[in-house]
Amino acid sequence: MQRVSKTADIRLTAVGDHLTAVRINGSPGIDWRRHYDRLTYTPVPVPPEITKGVRAYLDAFGLVFGAFDFGLDREGLWHWYECNPNGQWAWFPDHITAPITRAIADHLQHGAPYDQPRRPAPPTRRHRPHGRPGMALCPGNGAPRTLRR
The full set of domains in the chain, from first to last, is 6-110 (3.30.470.20)
Whether 80 has a pLDDT exceeding 80, the answer reads: yes
Cα distance between residue 50 and residue 32, in whole Å? 21
Q: Check if the beta carbon of residue 145 is closer than 8 Å to that of residue 138.
A: yes
pLDDT of residue 1: 67
How high does pLDDT run on average in the chain? 77
91-141 per-position pLDDT tens digit: 788 888 888 888 888 888 887 654 455 555 555 544 444 444 443 334 444
Cα distance between residue 47 and residue 53, in whole Å? 10
Shortest CA distance to 59 belongs to which of 83, 76, 42, 32? 83
Q: What is the pTM of this model?
A: 0.68
Query: What integer is the mean pLDDT of 32-43?
Result: 79
Residues of the chain above pLDDT 90, percent: 40
